[in-house]
Amino acid sequence: MAFVLTDWSITAATKAIRYIGDDHSGSSPSYCTVLEFHRALQAMADDESYTGDDQIDITKLLPSDKKFDTIVELINGYNIDDNASEHIYGGSIIQGGGDTIYDGIINYGNADVQIQIIQNGAILSDDWWNYNDAGLNADSAKGASHQFMIKVRTSGADIDGRRLIGICRRFGYTYSEFPIGAGTGRGVNTLALSDANDLNNNTAIGTVAGWTGITNSTSGYNGIDVDANGSDEYYYSEWNKASYTINQFFERIKWLSRDGSSSTLYGLSGELFRGITHEIPVDGQGGTDFSAYEEISWGSGATAGTGQMLAVNDVNAASKMWMQLLTGVVPTNNMAITGGTSGATCNVNGSVTERPISKPFCGQSTGSAIIGAYGFGIESADLGTNDSVIDLDNNTVNPPNNVQYTVSGLVVGEDRVLVTSWDGSATDPEGNPAIEIDQLSISTAITGSTTSITVSETIPTDTPSTGTIRVVANSGKEYRCVYSSYSTHTFTIASTNFSSDHVDVGNDCYIAYLDKLSGATSESFTCVYSADRQFVVIVRDGGGTPIKQFISSGSLGSNGGSISVIRASDA
Protein backbone atom coordinates (compact mmCIF):
# COMPACT_ATOMS: atom_id res chain seq x y z
CA MET A 1 0.00 0.00 0.00
CA ALA A 2 1.03 3.62 0.04
CA PHE A 3 0.58 6.94 1.81
CA VAL A 4 -2.88 8.36 0.98
CA LEU A 5 -2.72 12.12 1.38
CA THR A 6 -6.42 12.59 2.13
CA ASP A 7 -6.21 10.18 5.05
CA TRP A 8 -3.74 12.37 6.95
CA SER A 9 -3.65 15.85 8.49
CA ILE A 10 -0.75 17.97 9.79
CA THR A 11 -1.33 20.85 12.19
CA ALA A 12 1.34 23.55 12.04
CA ALA A 13 0.81 24.88 15.57
CA THR A 14 1.15 21.54 17.36
CA LYS A 15 3.22 19.66 14.76
CA ALA A 16 0.65 16.87 15.11
CA ILE A 17 0.58 14.37 12.24
CA ARG A 18 -2.69 12.47 12.49
CA TYR A 19 -4.43 9.71 10.60
CA ILE A 20 -8.01 10.77 9.71
CA GLY A 21 -9.02 8.03 7.27
CA ASP A 22 -11.11 4.92 7.84
CA ASP A 23 -10.13 2.80 10.79
CA HIS A 24 -9.18 -0.86 10.35
CA SER A 25 -12.75 -2.07 10.18
CA GLY A 26 -13.82 0.68 7.80
CA SER A 27 -14.38 0.34 4.07
CA SER A 28 -11.06 1.76 2.90
CA PRO A 29 -8.39 2.15 5.59
CA SER A 30 -4.91 2.96 4.31
CA TYR A 31 -1.45 1.91 5.43
CA CYS A 32 2.06 2.93 4.45
CA THR A 33 5.61 1.92 5.25
CA VAL A 34 7.83 4.17 7.33
CA LEU A 35 9.77 4.96 4.15
CA GLU A 36 6.58 5.93 2.27
CA PHE A 37 5.56 8.02 5.26
CA HIS A 38 8.89 9.86 5.24
CA ARG A 39 8.78 10.41 1.46
CA ALA A 40 5.27 11.86 1.72
CA LEU A 41 6.34 14.28 4.47
CA GLN A 42 9.34 15.38 2.44
CA ALA A 43 7.15 15.86 -0.62
CA MET A 44 4.85 18.18 1.34
CA ALA A 45 7.79 19.98 2.95
CA ASP A 46 9.09 21.18 -0.43
CA ASP A 47 5.73 22.71 -1.48
CA GLU A 48 5.53 26.43 -2.15
CA SER A 49 2.64 26.75 0.30
CA TYR A 50 0.27 24.32 1.92
CA THR A 51 -3.37 23.79 1.16
CA GLY A 52 -6.14 22.14 3.16
CA ASP A 53 -5.31 20.52 6.50
CA ASP A 54 -1.75 19.46 5.64
CA GLN A 55 -0.12 22.57 7.10
CA ILE A 56 3.44 22.03 5.98
CA ASP A 57 5.49 23.61 3.20
CA ILE A 58 8.90 25.11 2.41
CA THR A 59 8.44 27.75 5.13
CA LYS A 60 7.99 25.24 7.94
CA LEU A 61 10.62 23.31 9.82
CA LEU A 62 11.63 19.97 8.33
CA PRO A 63 9.38 17.21 9.75
CA SER A 64 11.44 14.03 9.41
CA ASP A 65 14.87 12.53 8.96
CA LYS A 66 15.52 9.13 7.42
CA LYS A 67 18.23 7.19 9.24
CA PHE A 68 17.67 4.06 7.16
CA ASP A 69 14.84 2.90 4.94
CA THR A 70 13.34 1.23 8.03
CA ILE A 71 14.14 3.94 10.61
CA VAL A 72 12.60 7.42 10.45
CA GLU A 73 12.88 10.10 13.11
CA LEU A 74 10.34 12.89 13.43
CA ILE A 75 12.19 16.09 14.25
CA ASN A 76 11.48 19.69 15.18
CA GLY A 77 8.52 18.71 17.36
CA TYR A 78 6.56 16.77 14.76
CA ASN A 79 4.74 13.78 16.20
CA ILE A 80 2.27 11.00 15.56
CA ASP A 81 -0.15 9.44 18.04
CA ASP A 82 -1.02 5.80 18.72
CA ASN A 83 -3.85 5.79 16.20
CA ALA A 84 -1.56 7.09 13.46
CA SER A 85 1.06 4.47 14.34
CA GLU A 86 -1.47 1.74 13.55
CA HIS A 87 -1.38 2.80 9.90
CA ILE A 88 2.41 2.69 9.49
CA TYR A 89 4.57 -0.43 9.22
CA GLY A 90 7.88 -1.71 7.94
CA GLY A 91 10.19 -0.05 10.44
CA SER A 92 10.50 2.30 13.39
CA ILE A 93 9.27 5.83 14.09
CA ILE A 94 11.29 7.82 16.64
CA GLN A 95 10.05 11.15 17.99
CA GLY A 96 10.56 13.60 20.83
CA GLY A 97 14.32 13.21 20.63
CA GLY A 98 13.93 9.50 21.38
CA ASP A 99 11.39 9.91 24.19
CA THR A 100 8.80 7.98 22.16
CA ILE A 101 9.54 5.05 19.88
CA TYR A 102 7.34 2.76 17.81
CA ASP A 103 9.19 -0.31 16.55
CA GLY A 104 8.24 -2.47 13.59
CA ILE A 105 7.01 -6.07 13.87
CA ILE A 106 6.73 -8.63 11.10
CA ASN A 107 5.28 -12.11 11.56
CA TYR A 108 6.21 -14.98 9.30
CA GLY A 109 3.38 -17.49 9.48
CA ASN A 110 0.20 -18.76 7.88
CA ALA A 111 -2.11 -16.11 6.46
CA ASP A 112 -4.99 -16.59 8.93
CA VAL A 113 -3.00 -16.89 12.17
CA GLN A 114 -4.38 -14.64 14.93
CA ILE A 115 -1.73 -12.95 17.07
CA GLN A 116 -1.86 -11.51 20.58
CA ILE A 117 0.95 -9.48 22.13
CA ILE A 118 2.11 -9.68 25.76
CA GLN A 119 3.73 -6.42 26.87
CA ASN A 120 4.62 -5.34 30.39
CA GLY A 121 2.96 -8.39 31.94
CA ALA A 122 -0.40 -8.05 30.19
CA ILE A 123 -2.15 -8.94 26.95
CA LEU A 124 -2.58 -5.80 24.84
CA SER A 125 -6.34 -5.27 24.86
CA ASP A 126 -6.69 -3.97 21.30
CA ASP A 127 -5.43 -6.46 18.72
CA TRP A 128 -6.07 -4.14 15.78
CA TRP A 129 -3.44 -5.95 13.69
CA ASN A 130 -5.90 -8.90 13.45
CA TYR A 131 -8.85 -6.90 12.11
CA ASN A 132 -8.10 -8.03 8.58
CA ASP A 133 -8.67 -11.80 8.32
CA ALA A 134 -5.32 -12.11 6.56
CA GLY A 135 -3.56 -9.85 9.06
CA LEU A 136 -2.67 -6.24 8.43
CA ASN A 137 -0.25 -5.58 5.60
CA ALA A 138 0.22 -9.25 4.75
CA ASP A 139 2.80 -10.03 2.09
CA SER A 140 2.40 -13.56 0.79
CA ALA A 141 5.43 -13.22 -1.47
CA LYS A 142 7.74 -13.12 1.57
CA GLY A 143 5.55 -15.28 3.85
CA ALA A 144 4.51 -12.40 6.09
CA SER A 145 1.07 -12.63 7.71
CA HIS A 146 1.23 -9.34 9.66
CA GLN A 147 3.26 -6.12 9.55
CA PHE A 148 2.66 -3.38 12.13
CA MET A 149 4.29 -1.19 14.79
CA ILE A 150 4.10 -1.33 18.61
CA LYS A 151 4.95 1.53 20.97
CA VAL A 152 7.95 0.37 23.03
CA ARG A 153 9.10 3.64 24.63
CA THR A 154 7.09 6.47 26.14
CA SER A 155 7.93 9.60 28.18
CA GLY A 156 11.62 8.79 27.92
CA ALA A 157 11.32 5.28 29.39
CA ASP A 158 11.30 1.90 27.68
CA ILE A 159 8.13 -0.12 28.32
CA ASP A 160 9.39 -3.20 30.17
CA GLY A 161 12.75 -2.98 28.47
CA ARG A 162 11.02 -3.13 25.05
CA ARG A 163 10.31 -6.86 25.64
CA LEU A 164 7.42 -8.42 23.76
CA ILE A 165 5.99 -11.93 23.52
CA GLY A 166 3.76 -12.89 20.63
CA ILE A 167 1.29 -15.71 21.17
CA CYS A 168 -1.41 -17.42 19.13
CA ARG A 169 -4.11 -19.37 20.95
CA ARG A 170 -7.00 -19.77 18.56
CA PHE A 171 -9.24 -22.51 19.94
CA GLY A 172 -9.28 -25.53 17.66
CA TYR A 173 -5.79 -24.77 16.39
CA THR A 174 -2.28 -25.46 17.64
CA TYR A 175 -0.92 -22.95 20.17
CA SER A 176 2.40 -21.15 19.78
CA GLU A 177 4.45 -18.28 21.17
CA PHE A 178 7.54 -16.36 20.13
CA PRO A 179 9.41 -13.86 22.33
CA ILE A 180 11.33 -10.73 21.44
CA GLY A 181 13.08 -11.26 24.73
CA ALA A 182 16.09 -8.95 24.83
CA GLY A 183 14.04 -5.99 23.65
CA THR A 184 13.06 -4.69 20.27
CA GLY A 185 15.63 -3.00 18.07
CA ARG A 186 15.15 -0.18 15.60
CA GLY A 187 13.67 -1.23 12.30
CA VAL A 188 11.76 -4.47 11.85
CA ASN A 189 11.60 -7.16 14.56
CA THR A 190 10.62 -10.72 13.72
CA LEU A 191 7.94 -12.99 15.12
CA ALA A 192 7.49 -16.54 13.85
CA LEU A 193 3.96 -17.48 14.86
CA SER A 194 1.86 -19.95 12.95
CA ASP A 195 -0.93 -22.36 13.71
CA ALA A 196 -2.77 -25.26 12.12
CA ASN A 197 -5.86 -27.32 12.79
CA ASP A 198 -5.35 -29.30 15.99
CA LEU A 199 -6.73 -32.79 15.34
CA ASN A 200 -6.93 -33.34 19.10
CA ASN A 201 -9.02 -30.20 19.60
CA ASN A 202 -12.07 -30.60 17.41
CA THR A 203 -14.91 -30.48 19.96
CA ALA A 204 -17.25 -27.51 19.61
CA ILE A 205 -16.13 -24.63 21.82
CA GLY A 206 -19.59 -24.33 23.41
CA THR A 207 -19.43 -27.97 24.46
CA VAL A 208 -15.99 -27.62 26.05
CA ALA A 209 -17.17 -24.49 27.87
CA GLY A 210 -19.61 -26.70 29.76
CA TRP A 211 -16.98 -29.12 31.08
CA THR A 212 -16.78 -27.37 34.44
CA GLY A 213 -16.15 -30.61 36.31
CA ILE A 214 -12.52 -30.44 35.20
CA THR A 215 -10.82 -28.51 38.01
CA ASN A 216 -7.47 -27.84 39.64
CA SER A 217 -8.03 -29.41 43.06
CA THR A 218 -4.70 -28.19 44.45
CA SER A 219 -2.94 -24.97 43.43
CA GLY A 220 0.65 -24.54 44.52
CA TYR A 221 3.32 -26.96 45.71
CA ASN A 222 1.91 -30.43 46.33
CA GLY A 223 2.97 -34.04 46.30
CA ILE A 224 1.45 -36.72 44.07
CA ASP A 225 2.64 -40.31 43.83
CA VAL A 226 2.12 -40.62 40.09
CA ASP A 227 4.33 -43.68 39.61
CA ALA A 228 2.79 -45.42 42.67
CA ASN A 229 6.20 -46.21 44.18
CA GLY A 230 5.18 -45.06 47.66
CA SER A 231 7.03 -41.74 47.40
CA ASP A 232 5.50 -38.47 46.23
CA GLU A 233 6.85 -36.32 43.43
CA TYR A 234 6.08 -32.59 43.57
CA TYR A 235 4.15 -30.39 41.15
CA TYR A 236 2.56 -26.93 41.08
CA SER A 237 -0.95 -28.26 40.38
CA GLU A 238 -3.17 -31.29 40.83
CA TRP A 239 -5.79 -31.28 38.11
CA ASN A 240 -8.83 -33.54 38.25
CA LYS A 241 -10.21 -34.61 34.89
CA ALA A 242 -13.36 -36.00 36.54
CA SER A 243 -15.23 -38.35 34.19
CA TYR A 244 -13.74 -36.90 31.02
CA THR A 245 -11.17 -38.53 28.78
CA ILE A 246 -7.58 -37.34 28.87
CA ASN A 247 -8.03 -35.73 25.46
CA GLN A 248 -11.17 -33.92 26.61
CA PHE A 249 -9.08 -32.71 29.57
CA PHE A 250 -6.51 -31.38 27.09
CA GLU A 251 -9.24 -29.53 25.20
CA ARG A 252 -10.55 -27.98 28.42
CA ILE A 253 -7.07 -26.68 29.31
CA LYS A 254 -6.87 -25.12 25.85
CA TRP A 255 -10.29 -23.54 26.39
CA LEU A 256 -9.23 -22.04 29.72
CA SER A 257 -6.15 -20.42 28.12
CA ARG A 258 -7.57 -19.57 24.69
CA ASP A 259 -7.51 -16.22 22.91
CA GLY A 260 -10.07 -14.02 24.68
CA SER A 261 -10.40 -16.27 27.75
CA SER A 262 -12.14 -14.78 30.79
CA SER A 263 -10.83 -17.54 33.07
CA THR A 264 -8.38 -16.93 35.91
CA LEU A 265 -5.46 -19.26 36.59
CA TYR A 266 -3.20 -18.66 39.61
CA GLY A 267 -4.33 -15.02 39.74
CA LEU A 268 -3.60 -14.40 36.06
CA SER A 269 -5.94 -14.24 33.10
CA GLY A 270 -6.13 -17.57 31.31
CA GLU A 271 -4.80 -16.04 28.11
CA LEU A 272 -1.76 -14.64 29.92
CA PHE A 273 -0.98 -17.82 31.88
CA ARG A 274 2.03 -19.68 30.45
CA GLY A 275 3.17 -21.96 33.29
CA ILE A 276 6.53 -22.03 35.05
CA THR A 277 9.30 -20.14 33.31
CA HIS A 278 11.94 -20.11 36.10
CA GLU A 279 13.03 -22.05 39.17
CA ILE A 280 14.62 -19.96 41.94
CA PRO A 281 16.72 -21.28 44.88
CA VAL A 282 16.09 -19.09 47.94
CA ASP A 283 16.94 -18.79 51.62
CA GLY A 284 16.67 -16.35 54.52
CA GLN A 285 12.89 -16.11 54.62
CA GLY A 286 11.63 -13.28 56.78
CA GLY A 287 8.34 -11.67 57.70
CA THR A 288 5.36 -13.97 57.38
CA ASP A 289 4.44 -17.05 55.36
CA PHE A 290 4.26 -16.93 51.58
CA SER A 291 0.91 -17.61 49.97
CA ALA A 292 0.54 -20.84 48.00
CA TYR A 293 0.83 -18.61 44.91
CA GLU A 294 1.12 -14.84 44.54
CA GLU A 295 2.86 -12.05 42.65
CA ILE A 296 6.48 -11.50 43.64
CA SER A 297 8.89 -8.65 42.89
CA TRP A 298 12.59 -7.83 43.19
CA GLY A 299 15.25 -5.26 42.31
CA SER A 300 14.96 -1.70 41.04
CA GLY A 301 15.74 0.10 37.83
CA ALA A 302 17.50 -2.14 35.34
CA THR A 303 17.44 -5.09 37.80
CA ALA A 304 13.71 -4.88 38.59
CA GLY A 305 11.26 -7.61 37.77
CA THR A 306 7.97 -9.19 38.71
CA GLY A 307 6.63 -12.69 38.45
CA GLN A 308 3.69 -14.81 39.47
CA MET A 309 4.96 -17.34 41.97
CA LEU A 310 3.17 -20.62 41.18
CA ALA A 311 4.71 -22.81 43.89
CA VAL A 312 7.02 -22.59 46.89
CA ASN A 313 8.35 -25.71 48.58
CA ASP A 314 7.74 -24.42 52.12
CA VAL A 315 5.56 -21.36 52.74
CA ASN A 316 7.29 -20.55 56.05
CA ALA A 317 10.87 -21.68 55.32
CA ALA A 318 11.25 -21.52 51.55
CA SER A 319 14.31 -22.98 49.89
CA LYS A 320 12.94 -23.06 46.35
CA MET A 321 10.17 -21.34 44.42
CA TRP A 322 8.86 -21.47 40.88
CA MET A 323 7.38 -18.58 38.91
CA GLN A 324 6.11 -17.29 35.60
CA LEU A 325 8.15 -14.21 34.74
CA LEU A 326 5.87 -11.24 34.08
CA THR A 327 8.05 -8.15 33.68
CA GLY A 328 11.68 -7.13 33.80
CA VAL A 329 14.66 -9.42 34.23
CA VAL A 330 15.09 -12.52 36.38
CA PRO A 331 16.60 -11.97 39.84
CA THR A 332 20.22 -12.80 40.54
CA ASN A 333 22.08 -14.22 43.53
CA ASN A 334 21.43 -12.46 46.88
CA MET A 335 18.62 -10.27 45.55
CA ALA A 336 15.60 -9.90 47.85
CA ILE A 337 12.23 -11.22 46.68
CA THR A 338 8.98 -9.94 48.22
CA GLY A 339 5.55 -11.52 48.10
CA GLY A 340 2.95 -9.05 46.83
CA THR A 341 0.07 -10.53 48.83
CA SER A 342 1.79 -12.03 51.85
CA GLY A 343 4.60 -9.50 52.31
CA ALA A 344 6.96 -12.41 52.99
CA THR A 345 10.58 -11.98 51.93
CA CYS A 346 13.52 -14.21 51.00
CA ASN A 347 16.80 -13.98 49.12
CA VAL A 348 17.95 -15.62 45.93
CA ASN A 349 20.48 -18.32 46.85
CA GLY A 350 22.38 -19.21 43.69
CA SER A 351 21.57 -19.31 40.01
CA VAL A 352 18.05 -19.07 38.62
CA THR A 353 17.17 -21.88 36.19
CA GLU A 354 15.02 -21.17 33.15
CA ARG A 355 12.46 -23.87 32.48
CA PRO A 356 10.89 -24.61 29.08
CA ILE A 357 7.20 -23.91 28.70
CA SER A 358 4.64 -25.88 26.75
CA LYS A 359 1.94 -24.61 24.40
CA PRO A 360 -0.67 -25.15 25.82
CA PHE A 361 0.60 -25.06 29.39
CA CYS A 362 -0.51 -28.62 30.25
CA GLY A 363 1.62 -30.31 27.59
CA GLN A 364 0.54 -32.15 24.45
CA SER A 365 -2.10 -34.75 23.69
CA THR A 366 -1.63 -37.75 21.45
CA GLY A 367 -5.39 -38.18 21.37
CA SER A 368 -5.29 -40.97 23.92
CA ALA A 369 -2.51 -39.84 26.28
CA ILE A 370 -1.06 -36.66 27.75
CA ILE A 371 2.64 -35.79 27.45
CA GLY A 372 2.86 -33.38 30.35
CA ALA A 373 4.63 -30.05 30.74
CA TYR A 374 7.24 -29.17 33.36
CA GLY A 375 5.76 -29.11 36.86
CA PHE A 376 2.17 -29.68 35.70
CA GLY A 377 0.47 -32.22 37.96
CA ILE A 378 -2.62 -34.37 37.39
CA GLU A 379 -4.33 -36.65 39.91
CA SER A 380 -2.61 -40.02 39.80
CA ALA A 381 -5.91 -41.86 39.37
CA ASP A 382 -6.60 -39.83 36.21
CA LEU A 383 -3.45 -41.02 34.45
CA GLY A 384 -2.91 -44.15 32.40
CA THR A 385 0.16 -46.14 31.51
CA ASN A 386 0.74 -44.16 28.29
CA ASP A 387 0.62 -40.77 30.00
CA SER A 388 3.65 -38.96 31.40
CA VAL A 389 4.26 -35.90 33.56
CA ILE A 390 7.36 -33.93 34.54
CA ASP A 391 7.82 -33.06 38.20
CA LEU A 392 9.42 -29.93 39.64
CA ASP A 393 12.78 -31.75 39.86
CA ASN A 394 12.55 -32.05 36.05
CA ASN A 395 12.10 -35.83 36.15
CA THR A 396 9.77 -37.49 33.66
CA VAL A 397 7.35 -39.67 35.62
CA ASN A 398 5.28 -42.47 34.11
CA PRO A 399 2.21 -43.72 35.94
CA PRO A 400 1.27 -47.35 36.23
CA ASN A 401 -1.70 -48.58 34.23
CA ASN A 402 -4.67 -46.99 36.02
CA VAL A 403 -7.82 -48.68 34.79
CA GLN A 404 -11.49 -48.25 35.55
CA TYR A 405 -14.23 -50.80 36.20
CA THR A 406 -17.82 -49.60 35.74
CA VAL A 407 -21.20 -50.99 36.74
CA SER A 408 -23.94 -49.37 34.64
CA GLY A 409 -27.72 -49.59 34.35
CA LEU A 410 -28.33 -48.53 37.97
CA VAL A 411 -31.25 -46.70 39.59
CA VAL A 412 -30.07 -43.74 41.62
CA GLY A 413 -30.81 -43.97 45.33
CA GLU A 414 -32.28 -47.49 45.14
CA ASP A 415 -29.66 -49.97 43.93
CA ARG A 416 -27.14 -51.35 46.41
CA VAL A 417 -23.95 -52.27 44.55
CA LEU A 418 -21.28 -54.67 45.76
CA VAL A 419 -18.20 -55.66 43.75
CA THR A 420 -15.75 -58.04 45.46
CA SER A 421 -13.04 -60.52 44.54
CA TRP A 422 -13.92 -63.97 43.12
CA ASP A 423 -11.45 -66.82 42.98
CA GLY A 424 -12.82 -67.91 39.61
CA SER A 425 -14.40 -71.17 40.75
CA ALA A 426 -16.24 -70.98 44.11
CA THR A 427 -20.03 -70.81 43.91
CA ASP A 428 -22.85 -70.18 46.35
CA PRO A 429 -25.63 -72.75 46.97
CA GLU A 430 -27.52 -71.43 43.96
CA GLY A 431 -24.55 -71.87 41.66
CA ASN A 432 -23.65 -68.17 41.47
CA PRO A 433 -20.06 -66.95 41.82
CA ALA A 434 -19.25 -66.65 45.53
CA ILE A 435 -17.52 -63.81 47.34
CA GLU A 436 -13.89 -64.62 48.16
CA ILE A 437 -14.45 -63.91 51.84
CA ASP A 438 -10.99 -65.21 52.81
CA GLN A 439 -9.12 -62.94 50.36
CA LEU A 440 -7.15 -61.57 53.34
CA SER A 441 -6.75 -62.54 56.99
CA ILE A 442 -6.43 -60.43 60.15
CA SER A 443 -2.95 -60.46 61.70
CA THR A 444 -3.59 -58.27 64.76
CA ALA A 445 -6.52 -58.91 67.08
CA ILE A 446 -9.03 -56.08 67.54
CA THR A 447 -10.92 -55.71 70.82
CA GLY A 448 -11.93 -52.05 70.89
CA SER A 449 -12.02 -48.89 68.79
CA THR A 450 -9.45 -48.80 66.02
CA THR A 451 -8.43 -46.68 63.05
CA SER A 452 -6.38 -49.38 61.36
CA ILE A 453 -6.81 -52.94 60.15
CA THR A 454 -3.69 -55.07 59.71
CA VAL A 455 -3.67 -58.20 57.57
CA SER A 456 -1.15 -61.00 57.14
CA GLU A 457 -0.96 -60.80 53.37
CA THR A 458 0.55 -57.98 51.34
CA ILE A 459 -2.35 -55.84 50.19
CA PRO A 460 -2.67 -56.32 46.41
CA THR A 461 -1.24 -53.46 44.36
CA ASP A 462 -4.45 -53.25 42.31
CA THR A 463 -6.44 -52.22 45.40
CA PRO A 464 -8.10 -48.80 44.87
CA SER A 465 -6.35 -46.00 46.76
CA THR A 466 -9.51 -45.37 48.81
CA GLY A 467 -12.55 -47.55 49.31
CA THR A 468 -14.01 -50.13 51.68
CA ILE A 469 -13.08 -53.47 53.21
CA ARG A 470 -15.29 -56.02 54.96
CA VAL A 471 -13.99 -57.44 58.28
CA VAL A 472 -15.53 -60.62 59.70
CA ALA A 473 -15.92 -60.34 63.50
CA ASN A 474 -16.16 -63.30 65.90
CA SER A 475 -19.95 -63.20 65.73
CA GLY A 476 -19.78 -63.79 61.99
CA LYS A 477 -21.02 -60.29 61.22
CA GLU A 478 -19.17 -58.52 58.42
CA TYR A 479 -18.29 -54.93 59.31
CA ARG A 480 -18.03 -52.44 56.45
CA CYS A 481 -14.96 -50.27 57.07
CA VAL A 482 -14.12 -47.27 54.89
CA TYR A 483 -10.38 -46.89 54.32
CA SER A 484 -8.66 -43.64 53.32
CA SER A 485 -5.29 -45.20 52.48
CA TYR A 486 -3.24 -48.36 52.84
CA SER A 487 0.39 -49.45 52.93
CA THR A 488 1.80 -52.97 52.65
CA HIS A 489 -0.29 -54.75 55.33
CA THR A 490 -2.37 -51.98 56.92
CA PHE A 491 -5.57 -50.17 55.98
CA THR A 492 -6.22 -46.78 57.60
CA ILE A 493 -9.95 -46.68 58.38
CA ALA A 494 -12.53 -44.40 59.95
CA SER A 495 -12.76 -45.12 63.68
CA THR A 496 -14.69 -48.35 64.23
CA ASN A 497 -15.60 -49.90 67.60
CA PHE A 498 -15.25 -53.65 67.98
CA SER A 499 -15.61 -53.63 71.80
CA SER A 500 -18.74 -55.77 71.75
CA ASP A 501 -17.72 -57.96 68.83
CA HIS A 502 -14.02 -58.78 68.78
CA VAL A 503 -11.93 -59.74 65.78
CA ASP A 504 -9.41 -62.54 66.34
CA VAL A 505 -6.17 -63.16 64.50
CA GLY A 506 -6.93 -65.21 61.41
CA ASN A 507 -10.43 -63.85 60.87
CA ASP A 508 -11.36 -63.19 57.27
CA CYS A 509 -11.19 -59.81 55.56
CA TYR A 510 -11.83 -58.88 51.96
CA ILE A 511 -11.76 -55.84 49.69
CA ALA A 512 -15.08 -54.38 48.49
CA TYR A 513 -14.09 -52.61 45.30
CA LEU A 514 -17.57 -51.07 45.14
CA ASP A 515 -19.80 -51.12 48.20
CA LYS A 516 -22.41 -48.39 48.14
CA LEU A 517 -25.89 -47.16 47.44
CA SER A 518 -25.85 -45.92 43.87
CA GLY A 519 -25.54 -42.16 43.51
CA ALA A 520 -25.56 -42.23 39.72
CA THR A 521 -26.77 -44.45 36.89
CA SER A 522 -23.27 -45.91 36.73
CA GLU A 523 -20.69 -46.40 39.46
CA SER A 524 -17.01 -47.09 38.97
CA PHE A 525 -13.69 -47.45 40.71
CA THR A 526 -10.13 -46.91 39.51
CA CYS A 527 -7.19 -49.13 40.35
CA VAL A 528 -3.70 -49.96 39.13
CA TYR A 529 -3.75 -52.89 36.74
CA SER A 530 -1.24 -55.60 37.64
CA ALA A 531 -2.98 -58.74 36.35
CA ASP A 532 -6.44 -59.81 35.28
CA ARG A 533 -8.84 -60.03 38.23
CA GLN A 534 -12.20 -61.80 38.59
CA PHE A 535 -15.10 -60.17 40.43
CA VAL A 536 -18.46 -61.00 41.93
CA VAL A 537 -20.93 -58.24 41.04
CA ILE A 538 -24.13 -58.04 43.10
CA VAL A 539 -26.90 -55.45 42.63
CA ARG A 540 -30.08 -55.50 44.70
CA ASP A 541 -33.10 -53.18 44.69
CA GLY A 542 -36.02 -53.86 46.95
CA GLY A 543 -37.29 -50.28 46.80
CA GLY A 544 -39.75 -48.45 44.60
CA THR A 545 -38.73 -50.30 41.44
CA PRO A 546 -37.69 -53.67 42.83
CA ILE A 547 -35.69 -56.12 40.75
CA LYS A 548 -34.65 -59.69 41.21
CA GLN A 549 -31.07 -59.94 42.47
CA PHE A 550 -28.52 -59.33 39.77
CA ILE A 551 -25.42 -61.41 40.43
CA SER A 552 -22.71 -62.14 37.92
CA SER A 553 -19.02 -62.65 37.49
CA GLY A 554 -17.01 -59.79 36.03
CA SER A 555 -13.43 -59.31 34.98
CA LEU A 556 -10.84 -56.54 34.98
CA GLY A 557 -8.22 -56.49 32.23
CA SER A 558 -5.46 -54.18 31.06
CA ASN A 559 -8.06 -51.82 29.60
CA GLY A 560 -10.34 -51.94 32.64
CA GLY A 561 -13.77 -53.49 32.44
CA SER A 562 -17.50 -52.95 32.73
CA ILE A 563 -20.79 -54.71 33.29
CA SER A 564 -24.38 -53.64 32.69
CA VAL A 565 -27.09 -54.64 35.16
CA ILE A 566 -29.92 -56.78 33.80
CA ARG A 567 -33.05 -55.50 35.53
CA ALA A 568 -35.61 -58.29 35.93
CA SER A 569 -38.64 -56.80 37.66
CA ASP A 570 -39.63 -58.19 41.04
CA ALA A 571 -42.73 -55.99 41.38
Q: What secondary structure, in 3-state letters, does 231-300 show?
A: CCEEEEEEEECCCCCHHHHHHHHHHHCCCCCCCEECCEECCCCCCCCEEEEEEEEECCCCCCCEEEEECC
Choosing from 316, 331, 354, the residue where a domain stops is 354
pLDDT tens digits, one per residue of 226-285: 998 889 999 999 999 998 999 999 999 999 999 999 999 999 999 999 999 999 999 999
Quick check: is 198 in a domain? Answer: no
Find residue 515's DSSP bridge partners. Answer: 418
3-state helix, strand, coil in the chain (%, to 5): 10, 45, 50
Please check whether residues 168 and 253 belong to one and the same domain.
Answer: no
Looking at residue 235, what is its pLDDT?
98
pLDDT at 155 over 90: yes
Structural domains counted in the chain:
4
Indicate the range of 45-49, 74-78, 80-84, 325-329 predicted with least confidence: 45-49
Residue 534 has pLDDT above 90, yes or no: yes
Based on the fold, state whether residues 71 and 159 are members of the same structural domain: yes
Q: Quick check: 133 pLDDT over 80?
A: no
CA-CA distance, 7 to 27, in Å (whole number)? 13
More confident residue, 475 or 528: 475
User: Does residue 571 fall inside a structural domain?
Assistant: no
Same domain as 213, residue 114: no
Residue 122 inside a domain? The answer is yes
Residues 534 and 410 reside in one and the same domain: yes
pLDDT tens across 327-386, in order? Answer: 999 999 999 999 999 999 999 999 999 999 999 999 999 999 999 999 999 999 899 889
Percent with pLDDT over 70 in the chain: 100
Query: Would you say how long the chain is, in residues?
Result: 571
Tell me if 506 sits within 8 A of 467, measured CB to CB.
Answer: no
Domain with 257, as residue range(s), is: 205-272+358-400
Q: Is 28 part of a structural domain of the chain?
A: yes
Q: Say yes or no to pLDDT of 132 above 80.
A: no
Predicted TM-score (pTM) above 0.85:
no
Distance (Å, rounded) from C-alpha 59 to C-alpha 52?
16
129 touches 146 (CB < 8 A): yes
- Mean pLDDT for 60-73 is 97
| Same domain (yes/no): 416, 551 | yes
Is residue 196 in some structural domain? no
The reply to whether 17 and 166 lie within a common domain is yes
**Which residues in 422-506 belong to E strands, given as ranges?**
440-441, 449-454, 467-472, 478-487, 490-497
**Judgement on whether residues 90 and 239 belong to the same structural domain of the protein:** no
pLDDT score for 543: 87
**Statement: residue 501 has pLDDT above 90:** yes
